[in-house]
Amino acid sequence: MKVWHCLATAVLACGLSMAQAQESSGQQESSRSDVTAEETTGSSVAEAADIRLEKAPPMTPEALFEQVIERARQMAGGEYQAPSSPLPDSLANMSYNDYRDIRFRQESALWRDERLFEVQFFHPGFLYDAPVETHVLKEGRVETLDFDMSMFNYEKDAAPLREEVARLDRQKLGFAGFRLHYPLNTPHYKDEFLVFLGASYFRIAGRGQGYGISARGLAVNTATQGGEEFPAFRAFWLVQPDPEASTITLFALLDSPSVTGAYRFDVEAANNTVIDVDAHLFARSEVAKLGVAPLTSMFLHGENSVDRHDDFRPEVHDSDGMLMHTSGGQWIWRPLSNPETLNVTQLRDTSPRGFGLMQRDRDFDSYLDMEADYQHRPSLWIEPREGDWNEGGLELVEIPVESEVHDNIVAYWVPDSAFRAGDARRYQYRVTSHGDGVPEHRLGRVVRTRQGWGAVPGEPDPPEHSLRRFIVDFRGGEALSSLAGSQPVEAKLTVARGEISELRVKQLPDGETWRATFKLAPKGEESADMQLQLMLRGRLLTETWSYIWNPNVLE
């Protein structure tokens, strides 16, 4: 598994404790011992009131979430308190390999052999030097889970750290994060399928899937000159599920210099893992760019790349395209790239129906990687529900990288309206992991994008290398898949900043795939923005292929 690079780590927060209530109860007990016999003969109404004070009503998930929301609101009204790490250098600066040698003991899992869900925890250290508080709502009471070194085995080069950890204050130490386990693939083994670790990152996997793409709680000022800010989940509350439940609820408190937030995650472990998110955001200061429901992935090279990688693998990526379902019903597919320079684009809309980063190519032969299993990496699909989505744009950030250990793809929704100090927002949406496509998408889909020099082999006076030939192959869909090759399918192609020639459409020999091919002559060094669909007598057959070609990749 590749190193999970996070530019910011999870930070420490105060939990929602019952300290004041316990202190008040203690004062009542002390006062009650000094009461005389005459004073104990009060009315039955007073006695009933006293009983109510002694027996607080059980805490419900709804009431607890309201407390988390209120805590986030209050935090936004005060100055940001940067987290301090309680870790010695030996833990904070340990290597990745040493960190992996600190292993959680499965028998120490929360709810071990009691419920279908189990929780395992991450040791603080390495990139994760600011612990996160963890609480459990159990039978109407909130309990705090303190760090316990007996939950971990310190193996190999990490063995000497055991004595140093034993000298630390475990109440200040805390955990770095946690992962959920559930019998997802077979009834006899509890698979890890959801992990919260580092800043506001979380990873999801469904049945038959492995980890790849990450989701985040929030993105702030991504790809801006002032630099990105990484909000972090400071505390979590896990609601104890019923023994046979396949759903679990989590609450999280988010904090950063600019934004605080309260999050509810309703998680369903299934063929495609589903998480319903309810996010309440509060601005501590003005946010230059708010990124809602952000997704982070990796694209090193693929079928559309200009080959510059010395790699036996044809493709290396966690996701190969961004998919959007607009409010008007249009499906847009934008293949990803590893650009020469930072590339930031937006697809504009109002209250989109859905968007996501997808791993569409599921053929092992496309990757030939026996260890990474890129063909099993999940796609993540965001479905906005209620809240303040309104006007804005789906922004795609593509960052140049030379190694697959670096995530370089980010997608999120950017609202047009400003988010200023004192403002509050609410966003409700669903996150779903997919091994196949989105079921609601019934049009023909892009299955292949390739490009190369537009010259004809052997021609005496070949054109410049800037002339490119593109092929875009479509397959599937209720309308496209039923067509015979003799049907007059046409391509509708538009381009900004460039000239198109030799546009043709033809069915491939497999009888299922339709190819659109054309030549593009860019306008100098300017990027060409292209949109392509297949039509039959005015009827739309496919999604929209949306592609930006930058001539500088040939330099």
pLDDT along the chain (555 residues), means of 10: 35 34 37 38 40 69 98 98 91 94 97 98 95 95 96 96 92 93 96 97 96 98 95 98 98 98 97 97 97 98 87 97 98 96 96 97 97 97 97 98 96 98 98 95 97 91 93 95 95 96 97 97 93 97 96 83
Q: What is the residue whose two structure tokens read 């419920």?
A: 115
Assess contact for 450 and 314: CB atoms under 8 A.
no
**Hey, is 542 helix, strand or coil?**
strand
**Hey, is 195 helix, strand or coil?**
strand
Nearest-angstrom CA–CA distance, 337 and 398: 7
Query: What per-residue confidence (pLDDT) applies to 55?
Result: 65
Residues 6+ apart with CB under 8 A from 205: 184, 191, 192, 193, 194, 211, 273, 378, 433
H/E element, 166:
helix 161-166
Decide which of 2.40.10.10, 2.60.40.10, 3.40.640.10, 3.90.550.10 is the CATH code for 445-554: 2.60.40.10
**pLDDT one-digit tens code per residue, 320-368:** 999 999 999 999 999 999 999 999 999 999 999 999 999 999 999 999 9
CB atoms closer than 10 angstroms to residue 376: 17
Nearest-angstrom CA–CA distance, 83 and 494: 51
Q: Give the phi and the psi of residue 524 in degrees, each rounded to 5.
A: 60, -130
Nearest-angstrom CA–CA distance, 144 and 132: 11
**Hey, is 262 helix, strand or coil?**
strand
Query: What per-residue confidence (pLDDT) applies to 54?
Result: 53
CB atoms closer than 10 angstroms to residue 519: 16
The separation between CA 99 and the C-alpha centre of its own chain, rounded to angstroms, equals 23
**Hey, is 68 helix, strand or coil?**
helix
Query: What per-residue confidence (pLDDT) applies to 172?
Result: 86
Query: What per-residue confidence (pLDDT) applies to 248?
Result: 98
Query: What per-residue confidence (pLDDT) applies to 252?
Result: 98
Assess contact for 209 and 225: CB atoms under 8 A.
no
Domain boundaries, the chain: 58-434, 445-554
Q: What is the mean pLDDT of the chain?
A: 90
Encoded amino acid at 257, one letter: P
Q: Supply angle C-alpha 416, 65, 260, rounded to 5.
A: 40
Assigned token pair, 299: 């694209």
> 58-434 — its CATH code?
2.70.98.10
Nearest-angstrom CA–CA distance, 315 and 317: 7
Instruction: Give this prediction's pTM.
Output: 0.88
Classify residue 341 by burial, with Cβ atoms within 10 Å: 0-12, 13-18, 19+: exposed
Q: Count how many residues are written for the chain.
A: 555
Assess contact for 153 and 103: CB atoms under 8 A.
yes
Q: Supply angle C-alpha 133, 139, 141, rounded to 5.
A: 45
Helix ranges (H only) for 178-256 are none
Query: What per-residue confidence (pLDDT) applies to 56?
Result: 74
Assess contact for 265 and 276: CB atoms under 8 A.
yes
Nearest-angstrom CA–CA distance, 535 and 121: 53
Nearest-angstrom CA–CA distance, 79 and 303: 49
Matching CATH topology for 58-434 and 445-554? no
Nearest-angstrom CA–CA distance, 351 and 349: 6
Assigned token pair, 132: 């996160």
Assess contact for 282 and 424: CB atoms under 8 A.
yes
